[in-house]
Chains A and B, each alone.
Chain A
Amino acid sequence: MNMTIIKSELYKIITKKYLWIFLLILSLAFSFITLQMKEYTSVKYSFEPFKNELQQAMGSPELYKVVKDNEYNAAYSEIKQYLPSSVIEYIEKYRTVMNDERMGEQGTVAVYLENNLASKVCNYFERKDDRINEISNTEKKIMDLIANGKENGFEYLVQTKILESFKKANFIQLNLGRWNQFININIGWLIPSSTILLILLGLAGIYSDEYVNKTQSSLLTAKKGRQGIFVSKLVAGVLYSFFCVILFQIVCLVVTGYVYGLPYNDISLVSLFGFKLTPYTWSAIEFYCIQLGGSLLTAFVMASMTMFFSVSFKSALLPFFLSGSYYGATFLLAKMINFSGNVTTLFSLPAELSPFLLQSMGDFGAKGRFANLFGLAVPTHYLNIVFHIFIAVLALVFCYRGYVRKQVKN
């Protein structure tokens, strides 16, 4: 390994003009999509400053009774008496302010805020009850399995694990903040797939371009040796792929933060929309970091795979095609799959072992998924991590062997 070679390898990658144009336009596309939201009333006005007062009000059994009696569809007028006066005053301030008609919104801001708050309160109680029901359903399933003499089966093992996790999990809090928008950066398809596209475009030619540029023979006989060149290319490739992930994340954080405001208070994952049945005790920030870690791992795996293909072909197109096919096919499967139940089946395995699901862990996070590994119930995302680390190591070993055994040809 040599810093000069690493620098020159990095230079070769980042001097491809189209990568920068891509990066710029994809960032602009994300900004355009997100900035469209800024003028919506739901984005401009938030109840987050009243989080503590509202959370305290949610403890009222009378409020719960009103919401429950209205089948989780209570109107603002029905719950108003249980809400803190500061929140009511905040809403009243906007009694004469009209919504922005350009955004297709009618009426006054106050009416919108009333409806929005009523729906958030109803949703809070509905989610809490759904979770309690899910726990009792799981207990019932376990009892049925025992009654049917299936207490040694895999389904029993999975349901027991889920019940344990449910009991350990955090309480549902009132979700008034913007954590869902930040979590969605990686749950959506745009940022994860754009990041990988940029990595594949940058690295597909890392070895094969040497043939085209007729520098292959010189590099194979270089003073630093083939191992030195291999390690330098590997370091440059991994640095570039991490750079892509981090750059995209920074752009998205800045744009999302500008539009929705930064979420100062952390919240439990179970409180976020879409995660009411999660068996995990993570907080929102922990979940964001886990997705970020998954993105870095995927970047490393795809970089290793692309480098392996690149060392095997004389054209950059084939490595790009093969790595892209792997990512694209598993990505499509992961987007198409109907996650039902908690057990990973043979049919769902190709989708659940998708590298995309390491970047975007919404489906795994929302509902625990377990695979049967020699009778053990292993969370499928752990299996996915181990599988991809194995793929990356295998790709790098073959890449190394392929490169150091190359013949010098004119």
Chain B
Amino acid sequence: MIYPKVIHQITRYELEYLLKNPVNMFSAGLYALVSILIVILEGFRQTYLGDFDSAALELVNFILPVFLLLHMLFVLSPMFAEETEYHIWEMPDSCNYGGYIRRLCRLIAVAYYLILLNLSYHIITAVIVGIIQPFSTWKEPVLQIGGEMKIVISWAVWQHYLFAIFSLFFASIIIGAFILVCSRKTKTVMAACAWGIFICLIEYMLNRFSSWGPLQQFNIWQLLTPYRFEFDGPFYYPITNVLVVGGFFTVLVAVSIWNILKNNEPL
């Protein structure tokens, strides 16, 4: 019988391993720097983004998703592949509680990590925007995001932001699961990372160039650019769109988790 305490201990160890990765500080620091430049420097903003309604929404729809995606790719791809690369994959499998518990704890740790990751990026955004722009801007209605004037839902900035948090969290769970499968199935960290990038690139190209609607709409990049759900989703209402697209990917995430947990040896 496996005690919850054991699972808790191994999960904590795995979470510590994830949190110690230098990419965390590097990526979050760079994001903070870029956000500050965009919010503070009028010249920088005019040069790169033009005029917009809300700095928070521009960041959460265009800058934060890119950082989040790359961050996950570089931190999660060594999760299983590193052990195979260093020829020590038998060690976790032969630990006291077996490979299954170890893998389960890793998945739980990754789930915690994704929550922390999302939280930290949103806190950075909120703090930077909060310090520089007055609080009242969060209550203003939104007329455009990224120059798109098709915004049909009459939400205030904070409502749009809340929606973006929801959508990006769905996206990070899905992408996290895909990267972990890549990590489990490949022999080297680079190959895992390469496959992760490859999946995201193909999804981006389908989202951008496919002339078939469902390929564009049931796409990770729709979840990563939440504002697009307001005028380019399978249904009219953005929350329904996130739930439908997220629900579609839930099946794939479930298959990925099953694939990670089953007792298969590396190739």
Contact = CB atoms under 8 A, between A and B. Distances in A.
Interface of A: 16, 18, 22, 25, 29, 33, 36, 190, 194, 197, 201, 204-205, 212, 315-317, 320-321, 324-325, 328-329, 332-333, 336-338, 345-348, 351
Interface stretch (B106-114, B137-145, B149-157, B195-203): B195-203
Given A25-B202, A316-B189, A320-B190, A338 B74 contact: no
B50 to A, nearest CB: 6
Interface string B32-76: 000000000101101111100000000000000010001000100
B86 A212 contact: yes
A201 B73 CA distance: 14
Contact of B48 (A36, A321, A333, A346): A333
Contact of A321 (B46, B49, B74): B74
A112 to B, nearest CB: 20
A198 to B, nearest CB: 10
Contacts of A18: 191, 194-195, 198
A316 B205 contact: no
Contacts of A324: 70
- The CB with the most chain B CB atoms within 10 A, among A16, A18, A328, A329, is that of A18
A317 B190 CA distance: 6
A317 B48 contact: no
B85 interface: yes
B190 A201 contact: yes
B190 A345 contact: no
A336 B191 CA distance: 30
B197 A197 contact: yes
Q: Which 6 A-B pairs give the minimum distances between C-beta atoms?
A: A336-B48, A347-B47, A316-B190, A347-B43, A317-B189, A347-B44
B205 A29 contact: yes
A329 B34 CA distance: 10
Contacts of A321: 23, 74
B77 to A, nearest CB: 7
Contact of A316 (B23, B46, B70, B188): B188
Given A320-B193, A321-B23, A337 B78 contact: no
Interface residues of B, number: 31
B46 A25 contact: no
Q: Mostly helix, strand, loop or mixed at chain A's interface? A: helix
Given A317-B189, A347-B44, A338 B50 contact: yes
Nearest to B43: A347
Nearest to A29: B205
A329 B31 CA distance: 11
A336 B49 contact: yes
Contacts of B50: 338
Nearest to B209: A33
Contacts of B49: 336
A242 to B, nearest CB: 21
A317 to B, nearest CB: 5
A205 B46 contact: no
Nearest to A212: B85
Contacts of B197: 197
Interface in B92-150: none
A338 B43 CA distance: 11
Contact of B189 (A315, A328, A332, A351): A315
B157 to A, nearest CB: 22
B264 interface: no
A316 B193 CA distance: 10
Given A36-B211, A212-B85, A317-B189, A337 B205 contact: no
A33 B44 CA distance: 34
A35 B198 CA distance: 22
Contacts of B43: 345-347
Contacts of B188: 205, 212, 316
A194 B197 CA distance: 11
Contacts of B194: 18, 22, 201
- The CB with the most chain A CB atoms within 10 A, among B70, B189, B190, B198, is that of B190
Nearest to B23: A321
A29 B209 CA distance: 10
B60 to A, nearest CB: 16
Contacts of A201: 190, 194
B148 to A, nearest CB: 15
B47 A348 contact: yes
Given A197-B197, A317-B193, A345 B47 contact: yes
13 contacts: A33-B205, A190-B205, A205-B188, A315-B189, A316-B190, A317-B78, A320-B190, A325-B70, A333-B48, A336-B48, A347-B44, A348-B47, A351-B48
B190 A205 contact: yes
A201 B195 CA distance: 11
Interface string B249-266: 000000000000000000
Contacts of B66: 332
Nearest to B81: A317
Nearest to A22: B198
A320 B77 CA distance: 13
A29 B193 contact: no
